[in-house]
Amino acid sequence: MGTFWGPDFAALERDDPEIAAVLLDELARQRQTLQLVASESFASPAVLTALGSTLANKYAEGYPGSRYYGGCAQVDRAEELAVARARELFGAEHANVQPHSGASANLAVYAALAEPGDPVLALGLPHGGHLTHGSRANFSGKWFHPIAYRVDPRTEEIDYDEVRDLALAHRPKLIICGSASYSRLIDFARFREIADEVGAYLMVDAAHVIGLVAGRAVPSPVPHADVVTCTTHKALRGPRGGMILCRADLGRRVDKAVFPFAQGGPMMHSVAAKAVALREAGTAAFREYAQQTVRNARALAAGLAAEGMRPVTGGTDTHLALLDVRELGVCGRDVEARCARARIALNKNAIPYDPEKPAVASGVRVGTPGVTSQGMREDEMRRIAGLIGAAARSDPAAAGGAGRLDEVAEEVSELVRRFPIYAEQEAMA
Ligand SMILES: *Cc1c(COP(=O)(O)O)cnc(C)c1O
């Protein structure tokens, strides 16, 4: 038995040095920047191993035991493990692990539960909704009839009374909750009540929080929702991809909506990597990571508040915070650019009722899954808040600004060097 299982970096360097250089440069970038993009974290070497395996060669249209191709016995085992682990971890009656992405998972759920033209009630994009929750630029807004609920302008939290009023007025087929920038817990039980009152399906898009749910750091939407969609590559630390959890009686409809309706052959290397990530997510170490991620987000939000950046809703219950940066006299776009020069990766983000265009934005979003995976804790979060504040106040066009950004970048380098990613693998190689 040989030990070759897939990747051979020496062969890549020899045969395609240009792409080999991209791989090395990207690892260097990930190591040398402070990673605060809320939708990113670091997958384990085991996850990357499954992703780089020869399972990538295999066609397996269909589901375990009923494929349109032969030779699927091995990949069937991978998918069965992934499904069983997902059901066990989340207490779900049914799981589909084939969606190529979060957006593909959402497309499949629309296809399973609604008809084109049906009203769909979801959080508006400017308030933290996702493109797939009814944006005109997306299938969801073009093929369905989107109705948007908002957050309360005073508390900046979801206005459940407005959700109910809109549901009663429009009788949506589907109600969606879940966001990429909402830092507070969502009252899933309240959404369930509203959905029941109007006979709508409830879909929770848990793309961002599913890793925290897995680690028991926030309450699970699974007992309340008809369907939960998610990604596997954000705080969950799996491969890029999607997943759908649902009630048993909706399983067949969901499966048929993923394949053959929305997708062709599943990416079996990714399905295997999802199985690996789901196993990891059931460990005590992962629970500690998920809970520390939330503690870190709270510390970071508090630290940024002290730097003059106002946390929207006043704080966070999750892995992310949205900061209103207007008090500093800058826009989100400038803070993003200044931080990037200081080797801090975060992104500009609209705040609720934002007077600026989305490309400018009055806010920035930060998240802690990445830095928590690196082993950073509250002390480092306070330090990072200071670095972000210093970068945000340094205008590179003003006297001394560029120099100050260089100084912050130097401090960032010193910090991330103390928390190296993939260091053990490097030492073994
Ligand atoms: C990230 C995200 C998605 C989409 O995931 P992709 O894998 O990028 O398609 C969907 N919904 C929400 C709320 C998200 O945050």
Closest-CA residue to 241 (of 211, 213, 209, 207): 207
Rounded distance between C-alpha atoms, residue 370 and residue 37, angstroms? 8
Q: Tell me: the pLDDT tens digits for 157-180?
A: 999 999 999 999 999 999 999 999
The mean per-residue pLDDT over the stretch 400-414 comes to 97
63 carries an active-site annotation? no
Assign 429 a pLDDT band (cuts: 50, 70, 90): low
Q: Which residue has its alpha carbon closest to ligand 1 atom 15?
A: 180
pTM for the full predicted model: 0.97
Rounded distance between C-alpha atoms, residue 278 and residue 81, angstroms? 9
Which atom of ligand 1 is the closest one to the Cα of 129? 13
Q: Which residues of 113-127 are buried (b: 16+ CB within 10 A; e: fewer)?
A: bbeeebbbbbbbbeb
Q: Tell me: the pLDDT tens digits for 41-77?
A: 999 999 999 999 999 999 999 999 999 999 999 999 9
Ordered by where they begin, the domains of the chain are: 54-280 (3.40.640.10), 284-418 (3.90.1150.10)
Q: What is the pLDDT of residue 1?
A: 47
Assign 6 a pLDDT band (cuts: 50, 70, 90): confident
Residues touching ligand 1 (Cβ under 6 Å) are: 39, 101-103, 130, 132, 178-180, 205, 207-208, 231, 242
The mean per-residue pLDDT over the stretch 315-339 comes to 98
Cβ atoms 333, 319 nearer than 8 A: no
Cβ atoms 375, 415 nearer than 8 A: no
Q: Is the pLDDT of residue 245 over 70?
A: yes
Q: Is the pLDDT of residue 416 over 50?
A: yes
Q: Tell me: the pLDDT tens digits for 87-97?
A: 999 999 999 99
Mean pLDDT of all residues in the chain? 96
